[in-house]
Each structure stands twice: as C-alpha cells, then as structure tokens.
Amino acid sequence: MVVREHHRGSAQPIVPLQAPLCEPENVRESEMTTSAQIRILTVDDHPLLLEGLAAIIQNQPDMVLVGQASNCRDAIQQFRKLRPDVTLMDLRLPDMSGIDAMIAIHAQFPEARIIMMTTFEGDGPVQRALEAGARSYILKNMPPREIVDAIRRVHAGKKCVPAEIAAQIAEHFGDEKLTGREVDILRQTAGGNRNRDIAYKLFIAEETVKAHMKHIMEKLGAIDRTQAVTIAARRGFIQL
C-alpha cells in the first residue's frame, strides 16, 4: 500500500501499488546539478556505515562521493560548501535530529534533495520527514541496488518511499497525530515517571498530565499507559 504525499487539510486517497512510491516532480534547473556524475554527501555518526556507503557510491560510474559528516552541524556546513546533488542524512544524530538539520538546509537551499536514512520503520518519523521535505526515506539495511536506485530517482526529481515503509504510512493514514507535548509525556512515562513527577518536570498541572495521557491512549488505541508506550516506541515516536 502507498500513501501519496498530502498537505494539511487536503488528504489524498490511498492508492494500492506493489512498487515503491516514486512520483515525478517539476524540477527547476539548480546550481547543485553541475556535472554528469551525481554528487553525494553522506551524513551518519557511525564510521562503518559511512565507509559502506562510500564503497557503494564509488562502485557506481554515475556517482561521486564529495563529502561526509558525522553530525548535523557539520552536515549543514558541508552542504553550504559542497552543494551536493543528493544528501543521505541519518535520522538520529548526536547533536540534533536529522530532520531538523534538513529543515535548516532547506531554509537556505529549498531545492536541496535529501534522503533520510534510518534503522527504524515506524510511521511516525517517516511522516514527519516527508512533511518536512525529504525526497525519499530509506532503511539502512536495504540492498545496495535499492539505495543507489533511490539516489538516482531522487536526483531525477522523483520522490520515493519503499513499499514496506509506505504500507506502514497507509496503515495509520488519517490517524490523529500526537502533539509535541504528548510525545514529551510519553518519553517521561517510558522513563518510569508518575503523573506527579511528569507534571513537575514539564511545569504543568498533574490533572493536565492525566488529560494528555487520556488523549494519547485514544489516539494510539491503547488500553493503558504501558501499552501506549509500547505502541509509541514501535511506531517511532519515542525511543526506549
């Protein structure tokens, strides 16, 4: 199943497809595409993964690795300097979220083509990344041929989401989203904090915490706090 990208207030229908979602866009000429080879920047805090991506890219005659970064701050600086055609960005980095780094890059370079990478398959971060402007969302354990195919498609002006990830988006299509405050409360709950403790840490009333928790359980279809935390972790809203 695949969910076509939608904007708030204008949900699009779910369209069943066997192949990944890869939709063409209207691509304007950009200064970031200046050579026959696809110029790529990779961002991840695991050296082994950076080395693996480098090996994959270097084996492609139409690609060249122009830079690497291990945190968001360095990634933003490298992007300004190198202007890559495609950037592979890890979702979770030491200094901030890869999504936040992507937003910062897009603020200066709206046409930046960024692919988010993760080991997590939950629909929560996927939807946030796509809404924030990611051109694709790939799993780190995908076969090399699928990774390079995603790079080529994104460089050609398409948006691609692997079928298994699109299926998860489709499963929760139309669900009411968790608010930032609700995610904060889930994180505190996962840490073993009681309502009173959560209220103290978040500077809100205990009754407010209880009301938020009620809404959280309704949105996630959970019967208690423990199940709410479990579902939230599985869908990628929080980390345990």
Please state the separation of Cα 94 from the chain's center in Å.
15
Instruction: Give per-residue pLDDT as tens, 127-146.
Output: 888 888 999 988 888 999 99
Structural domain includes residue 97 = yes
Q: Are residues 97 and 194 in the same domain?
A: no
Domain range enclosing 156: 31-171
CA distance 220 to 223: 9
Complete edge-to-edge strand list for the sheet that includes strand 86-90: 21-24, 158-161, 136-139, 114-118, 86-90, 38-43, 63-69
The three-class DSSP label of residue 124 is: helix
CATH number of domain containing 186: 1.10.10.10
Residue 237 has pLDDT above 70, yes or no: yes
pTM over 0.75: no
Residue 6 has pLDDT above 90, yes or no: no
CATH number of domain containing 76: 3.40.50.2300
DSSP conformation class of 11: P
Report the number of distinct structural domains present in the chain. Answer: 2
pLDDT attached to residue 22: 58
Residue 173 has pLDDT above 80, yes or no: no
Residue 76 has pLDDT above 70, yes or no: yes
Instruction: Give per-residue pLDDT as tens, 136-172.
Output: 988 888 999 999 999 999 999 998 887 777 777 777 7
Q: Of the candidates 171, 196, 226, which is a domain's last residue?
A: 171
Angle, helices 72-82/98-108, rounded to nearest 10 degrees? 30
Percentage, residues of the chain above pLDDT 90: 59
**Runs of H (alpha helix) within the chain:** 47-58, 72-82, 98-108, 123-131, 144-155, 163-171, 180-190, 195-202, 206-220, 225-234
Q: Are residues 133 and 152 in the same domain?
A: yes
